[in-house]
Structure formats: C-alpha cells, structure tokens
Structure 1
Amino acid sequence: MPSPAPASSVRRLAKKALRIVLLVTLFMAMAGIGAYVSLTLIIKGEDTVIVPDLVGKDILYGLEILSDLGLNTRVKGTAYHDQVPKNHVIDQDPDAGAAIKRGRDVKVRVSRGAETILMPNLEGLSLQQTRILLTENGLCQGVLSGMTSPRFDPGQIMAQYPPPGGIVSRNTCADLLISQGPSSPAFSMVDLSGLSLESAIRQLEQLQLAVGTIRIVLRTGTPLDTIVDQIPPAGHRVAPGNSVDMAVNRSNEERLTGGTENADQVELFRFSLENGFLKKRVQVRMNLPQISLSLFDDFLAPGQEIWLLIPKSGNPTILVYVDGQLVETRIM
C-alpha cells in the first residue's frame, strides 16, 4: 500500500495551480480591456470630428469644409469689422480644435466689412450701374441733378458728393450730377393749344423744357381740360431748360375762383406703384402760381402706396414721376 504524499508537495501543487488560474484570469481581463478600448476608439473615431479653424475664412469656404465633415453651418449674425473682410468669419462656436459629434451645429458670425469705406469713383457710370455699386458698398443714392455736357454721354455721372476716395460711413447717400448730353441750340416754341395737360407736359419734357406755372382759366367755346394759353407763345425762341407757363380750361367755377370757401380745405391724394420686382423712385410735385413744391421723393417697393393731403386753395396741379418719367397729372 503506497504511502501518502508529504504535505509540502501538496502545498506546492496548490500554489502552482493558483498561479496558473491567476495568470489566465489576468490575461482574459487584459484582453477584454483591450477589446473595449479598441472598440471605443473605433466608435468614437466614427462619430466625432475635430472642429476646423474658420476665423478669417470666407463663409462659402467654411460652409464647404463643415459640410465635408458632416457638420451644420449656422450663421448667428453679422457685424461690421475693421479687420475681417466682408463675408468672412469673425468668430465661431465651438472653437477650433473641439471634438464634437457629426451632425452638430457650428455657429459663426459673419463680417459685413469695415463700417467706414472709401467712396467709390462713380464718374462715367450710368445711373443703373451707380445704384448697383452703391448698394454693394452699403451706400445709397442722394439728390439727382442734371446739366448739359459735351464731354459725357446722356445719363452718365459727371460728378458726385462726397467725392471719390474720401472715407465715409455706411448708409451715406451720394448726390449725383447726371449729364444731359451736349446742349441743344435754341428753337421755336411749339404750339400747345388744344393739348391735354399731360400731353403738353410730355411734349415739353421731350424738348427738354421745364414746366412752369399752371393756371386755371374758363374759356367758353373751347374744349375743357385743354391748354388755352402759354408763355412763351408759339414761335418764340426758346432753349433747353427754359420754363413754359400754361393755362388750362376748366369748367368748375368754384374751383377756379380759389376763394376763401376752400382756402382751408384739403383733399387726399393717393398713388400706388404698379406691381413688379424692383423699387422705383417716385416724385410728387405740386405746381401753384409762381411756385413749384416737392411733396414726395423716395423709392417705393412694387405695390406700395402713398397718401398725401393736398390743399385745395389755389387749384394746385399734382405731377407724379416714376424714375424720371411723368406718369400722372391731376388738377385738385
């Protein structure tokens, strides 16, 4: 019968077995941790990206870069900035270098350019080109004036104020002097008798003559609402820019007298700009004996309407111009 193994041998075997179990356990734990870390890095690498630096970059470039990274661009506002050019990014949120998930928003603030700019040179441009250039630079059109010039074609800008090259603030309005072309020689005044007031004014504009005083008279036996008198008379020598006074035949005797019964009365004048796509300049002038007043001069959007209170006293004539063209005349 074999003798039992010594106790020391049993203990050595037990320690050896325990050591093997611990090594296996440690190996499995390390393998699990490694797999977890690897999987986490893979998942994280697929779902997150590093935000690029967009400050100072063109907004279209930034939009393209963020789109390629699977991020959304959100413009949180615009502001004037002396250092960042127009349409370039002033700042961003999150900052460059931040790690965010795909599909998240990156908010940017876009520059509108410097608040002060150099006034562009408008000389030689057409009025349409000038308006486009002013709008692109955040400027506006001011007072329009015209005069003859042998050097500039009709409609070209001859001079401006503020002058080109000066530093101006945004929203500054530029007053413009527009060429009317070479001066025309004197010619014989045409006969306006029998024409309607609107037709007579259109003919004067074609001849580059100004509308002077418009009077209301009563001539029996003569068609109503037609021109019955003019100064200068037909055949008189006139030159472009001269004023022509006219008398219109009207039958309403109460309105002709201009007496005290309507001296304090007013009438509502309404004008609506026709539908379209662009704003147009609308001018409303009131002609009275010996005086011509500007009642309205501004740009209106298509379909926009203006209301003006016109005094009845003196039988004023209202002239409406759209982009420099006479579109309506009315005797109040």
Structure 2
Amino acid sequence: MTNDRIFKGILYPLLFLNVFFLCALVASRVFLRGETVVAPDVTGKTYAVAGEELGRKRIPLALRARQFDARWPKGTIISQSPAAGERLKVGRPLRVVLSLGSEEVIVPRLVNRSLEAVTPLFREVGLVKGRVSFIHTSQYPAGRIMAQDPPAKTPAQRDTPVDMLVSQGELEDKFVMPDLLGRPAEAVRRQLAAQGFNLTYG
C-alpha cells in the first residue's frame, strides 16, 4: 500500500503538469493565431529600417521581388502586401518589392551618322533626342553628327536626352553679281574694287 501511495503521489502531479502545459501550449497557439495587427506603411523605406519597424510588431519581413523604378531610389521599398492599413495575423510575413533605381543603358556612338538614322536608335536603346546644334565645317558632310553628349559607350539612365552637334558642311563664299548694264564703266570699276574684284576693260 505504501508503494502504491508513493507511485500515485508521483504519477498524479506529473499527469497534471503535462495536461497543464499541453493546455497552455494549445491556448497560446489559438491566441496567437487569432491575434492581428495593422500593417504599417513601409513604402519608401529601406529593407533594414522596415524590418526593424515590423519586428517590433512581430511581423516578419519577406522580399517578394526587385524591379527597376525611376520614381524610387535604389534599395527602397516600392510596394507591400498586405497594403498599409490592412490587418494581418501576427507571425504572418509582410512581402515587399525593392527598387533597383533607374535602369541604365549604354549610350551608342552617333558620330558620323545622320539625324534620320539615329532617331529609331534612340527608341531602341531607351534614350531620347536632346538639343541639336548646327555648325559649318569641312570635317564632316552636311547632316552628319560631329559630337554628342553623353559620350558613346558611357552608362546613362533610361530616357536620358542626348545632345548633338550636326555639320552644315563647308561654308561657301558666294557673291551676288549686281546688274551693271547701262552703268558708267568707272563707277562699276570702283564698286567692284571695293568688294575685292579687279575689273579690266578695253
């Protein structure tokens, strides 16, 4: 009888403790499963700052994707799910998309090409036509691009304007011959001499 009492005295408390801890575990899971919090707005923040803020609310942070977006600085959060203001369960992750900043393209070489030829090229690579200036020169045929900014083979953000300097060809010296018929020869000679011409007549 003494042994039975000792056994029962040990067994019953152990069973009670096991049942107590089991009930506490189940109750805590049920409680946490039903507990919700309001999702904060983390757009525009860095991943580290958002993770720290969400950690205080017991919300895990998960990276869903990265994408180019010129509206947001590189490394900041573009969007989130659930959206700010919506409720989500404690322990459920808030998924975000991070900005890669503006997409960069390589500026092509435009020198010695015509304006007509580079217009479709701008659309193809993701750049736009900037200011176009013209100058007379004998180094390039008329209509050819002499210089560009940004230079060729340099990285630039998408939709960057490219300025160009275009040749108008060599400047030609032209002289419009005035009507000399019926005028006195000496008066004509003086007029032409003033303009660098040597008039001979006999």
| TM-score category (smaller protein) | 0.3 to 0.5
For normalisation by structure 2, the TM-score amounts to 0.37
Q: Greater relative contact order: 1 or 2 (C-alpha under 8 angstroms, separation 6 or more)?
A: 2
Q: Which has the higher strand share?
A: 1
